[in-house]
Amino acid sequence: MTSSLLLSVTTFIYGLAAVLYIAGWVFRRPLAARLGTWSVWAAVAGNAAGFILRWIESYRMGIGHAPLSNLYESLVFFAWTIGVSHLVIEHRYRNRVIGAFTLPLAFLAMAYASLSPYVSDRIQPLIPALKSNWLIAHVITCFIGYAAFAVGFGLSIMYLLSKIAAAADGRSGQRRAADVLVLQFFLVGLGLILFRFILGWPFGAGLAGAVAMAAVVDLAAWLLGRQQRVRDELFTRFPEPSLMDLLTHQTVMFGFVFLSAGIITGAIWANSAWGRYWGWDPKETWSLITWFVYATLLHARLMRGWQGRRIAYLSILGFIAVLFTYFGVNLLPGLHSYGAMAQQLR
């Protein structure tokens, strides 16, 4: 079995885990949620095995480099870090509902790597600038940070959903409308990633599909919202809002440390490869913007006492910046060599 085939199988295991977690949450089936946990363990193990096998394959081809040098490999590693991060939090806090909001992100990353016509799984030799241990340190630290931010994003979505449910009686109409608007925005964004980048639809069709998907989800949410008993049963399974708020802060703080390390190691690598620490390339610039968004969140939390919705909004904004840093900047002109390649590094 090749690494690509093993990782393709792992993609569907991640998808199965996401479905099981969602089923366990929506239909209140503890067995489904338990099977979801076992599926995550299987997916993480398969992901790691595929990663190691790909490394071995590169040596057999006479190339011999760590599989962290292109878009396909970075997506595989990203999914693995999300899966591991989720398992740590689930084990620590004994709540499987979180998986309904974190595992879909791991599945989307793997689906993009395995199914997108724009992502090649070929193992290719590295250009001289990429033959550096600083590159490995840079990618690993960045993606550990990204995974923590992904989990924080999932927790923020959960927090806003719980507040929307609590405000369903209309007493907090403006806040509820703001929460719904934020969630709709992200539904369209995730739908666009699914239809445009993973399935390869043209941009117009992808955007239309994303809007349609958001509309269907909104309709389902509205119908559920009219059933108070169903709504109460769904959202009472969430952790306490105060715990979700605390976990968001902790995951963001953890991710911020690793993102900072990633930016520093990236600067050292850039200096060794190109003779300068910083070049204001779009990838570098958006990494710095992402860093400032999360720095603002932590500053507001620690110095201004922000919590709740404000922290959730900033966490979601930060993850938007992460996604744009990862994918969006490749649509901008003026990228330097490693950013302009179809197989980007981060």
Same domain, 198 and 322: yes
What's the mean pLDDT in 283-311? 93
In a domain, 131, yes or no: no
Predicted TM-score (pTM) of the model is 0.86
pLDDT band at 312 (very low <50, low <70, confident <90, very high): very high
Check residue 229 and give its pLDDT. 57
Check residue 341 and give its pLDDT. 41
Tell me which of 103, 126, 149 is where a domain ends: 126
Same domain, 217 and 263: yes
Residue 57 reports pLDDT greater than 50: yes
Same domain, 34 and 154: no
Q: Which amino acid is at 123?
A: I
Q: Which two tokens stand for residue 38?
A: 């076992």
Nearest-angstrom CA–CA distance, 269 and 131: 10
The tally of domains found in the chain comes to 2
Same domain, 119 and 219: no
Same domain, 294 and 171: yes
User: In 10 A of CB 270, how many CB atoms?
Assistant: 23
Tens-digit pLDDT profile for residues 19-42: 999 999 888 888 999 999 999 999
For the chain, percent of residues with pLDDT exceeding 70? 75
Tell me which of 126, 150, 173 is where a domain ends: 126
In terms of residue numbers, what domain contains 323? 136-346
Check residue 107 and give its pLDDT. 94
In a domain, 214, yes or no: yes
Nearest-angstrom CA–CA distance, 319 and 112: 18
Angle between helices 228-235 and 203-225 (to 10 degrees): 110
Among 131-135, 274-278, 281-285, 340-344, where is mean pLDDT lowest? 340-344
Check residue 192 and give its pLDDT. 63
Same domain, 118 and 146: no
Mean pLDDT of the chain: 83
Tens-digit pLDDT profile for residues 104-121: 999 989 998 998 877 888
In a domain, 245, yes or no: yes
Which has more pLDDT, 212 or 248? 248
